[in-house]
Structure 1
Amino acid sequence: MAETLLTGARVFTGSHMVAADILLRADRVAALLPPGSPLPEGAALRRLSDGMLLAPGFIDTQVNGGGGILFNDQATVQAALSIARAHRRFGTTALLPTFITDTVEGMRAAGRAAAVASAMPGSGVVGVHLEGPFLAPERRGVHSLAHVRPIDAADLDFLTGLPARFGADARVLLSLAPDRVEPAVVARLVAAGLIVAGAHSAATYAQTMAAVEAGLSGFTHLFNAMPPLANREPGIAGAALAARDTVCGIIADGVHVHPAMLRLALAAKGPGGLMLVTDAMPPTGTAAESFTLHGQMIHRRDGRLVTDDGTLAGADIDMAQAVRNAVALMGVGLEEALRMASLYPARFLRLDDRLGRIRAGYQADLVLLDADLQVAGTWVAGQWWDATANEGEAGT
């Protein structure tokens, strides 16, 4: 079984910085060894610069597209794999391809495709995120009004059966509006194995907390597609901040959420309560200046993705930039920013027994960062991917 010893870089394990060498065996972390440990017999040695940092690979729970591909346009196995591949150069080693509000047939195809992709070793696909269509029409944002609808019996049959299509290492995340889906339905979805998050909603504080009591455990792109906080009616955003056992995804691009609100959310939720997401679209990893979504032209302008009328349509950010922004805009230390990109999403997905840390027995998903937190490359299930190249080379 192929082994590689990584030596020379600092190591962030997911909990703290250590001086260590990392022994990889096939797709797993075999051991953390004292620096300068003898090379195990038969193992390859890879020397890394002492200015580099090895950290757990980033985990992104909201990825609409990348590399020129929109999952809604191509809800196929190959599209899911290609999107995951496009995000590796930005440090993302695991993600949920995200299918936003669309046709019933499209939603079902997306679920089936992601299930197949997630079963492929080293794919980087760890489930699927269905964002909609059970949303509040008045808070739909760029989601298609023609496809926003109430949940029905056929939807429930499909959704409650979907987690069984995925293996133990993958998850189904459903974003819905708590004012459009009854708590009893939320409870049924959670009991079936789905992770349920609140999103695109005009729900009151009471409605949202009732959904939390029923098992809703997260919130999608906090503050966006939600009414603003108010003193007499905190609404869904206030409930998201107050609900201690929930995790909020947040887009730290300085556009979707003002830096002051980023810091406010961090203060309210505390460590582990916020995870970084990109809400990435097809331009990620490309030089494209536009793409189409539901027949609308979306423009890439000044760090924004917008429709002709200026409505935000996803985000023009990658996970490495989100980590850098967490440090610069939110004022968190590097270690906490890295947890927000790896350990906390792993916990939210209930995959933190195998992802989100550099620890013996965990999957060998690592990101190699330089002194400026730019990505030099990643290991996905032990396979090296150079950030400047398109091809990975196993065991190096």
Structure 2
Amino acid sequence: MLLKLLIICVISAISTGEKIRYDNFSLYKIHPQNEKHLKFLNELPKNGDDLHIWKLPTTIGDYASVVSSPEKKDSFEHSLRKRSINYEVMLENIQQAFDDQIMSRKRRDTRNQLFWTNYQTMEDIYEWFHYLAEQHSDIVTVIQAGQSFEGRNITGVKISRQSGRRAILVEGGQVGADWLSPTVVTYIVDQLVRGAEPEILEAAEEFEWHIFPILNPDGHEFSQNADRLWLKNRRPTVGNSIGVDITKNWNSHWGVRGVSFVATDSNYAGLGPFSEVETRAISNYLDSVAGNLAGLLSFRSFGQRLILPFAHTLSHMYNYNETVIIGRRAMGSLAGRYNTQYLVGNSLEVHDGATGSIADWVKHRFNSPLVATYLLRDTGTWGYTLPVNQVLPSCEETFDSVMALVREAKFVGVL
């Protein structure tokens, strides 16, 4: 019943131009201690229509990140206590955190510039890309991978200081509610274009960078304008359901693990690999540069992990052993600035084991030497409500690690 009411509220909000509010919704970080706890938590999507599942645990010692409505709060906490499952209430009112995210960018003139002390809108990003291309026409080109289901451009930039260089594709914004990764990705653009340090100039000269900050423009806009917790794209699917989780829609062991085939679920993987226009558009773009593709870096929040291919197995395939060394050294560089700690490994080892990711597909199809997925800040204290005072530090430390990835990959002979 509550799910039906929420759908009605979303439809009403769209028609009236109002946003869904999450006043007094609580954010929980939940810690399973045994297999029974794991089973209960991983069955929450089936049992709680008014719970928003941001992250589920795969192992004992991992954590779940769950948002509960105020109506569900007492019964949800009771169900945890009666099973002796430890939990923390990280936020009593996530709407206040969302309001703070929006307030930070009011009264700020963003024409011809971006700020990395707050979250950015797609309009601001795209306008800035065109400005960069005008001001740095010798190295920056605006590129289009295609359009979303609702007809929005999937826009990026190509940074090329010398022709014929190997390509690295950088992408973010596959999850609507994830406002951090597009901002981090635009920071990478800014540094590669305007950074003057020798290591930055070298990376910008040795590789051709193809950078798309928002692969899911419809979901991103919907999270900005209607429902801050929206995760999927916006294509109608089954019945009254809308959206597919495009992080799980790529053609590498699609649907094997960590996904749902129920259209109303937030991790619904679609009818098949590349069922979504957004994933098809980017896959076609990657095919167009495949002969020169040295790497792919995918960015998402949250979890503080560097995920290496592949998610379907614990076996270390392709050049995993070299890449994990590179990744650990790079995450050491990331920690050097603010002591932010990342785990490094394949998804089954350090994350959720969900298959069908863009990184796994790129590794399988092209065997590019440097392929990884960043799960950015944090580890469940804030999740998608990450305060704006952590945005710039996230950008800075992540760029440090990207330069370290390139440096270490060259050092061990991977690049």
Shorter-chain TM-score bucket reads under 0.3
Structure having greater relative contact order (Cα 8 Å, sep ≥ 6): 1
Normalising by structure 1, what TM-score? 0.25
Greater percentage in strand: 1
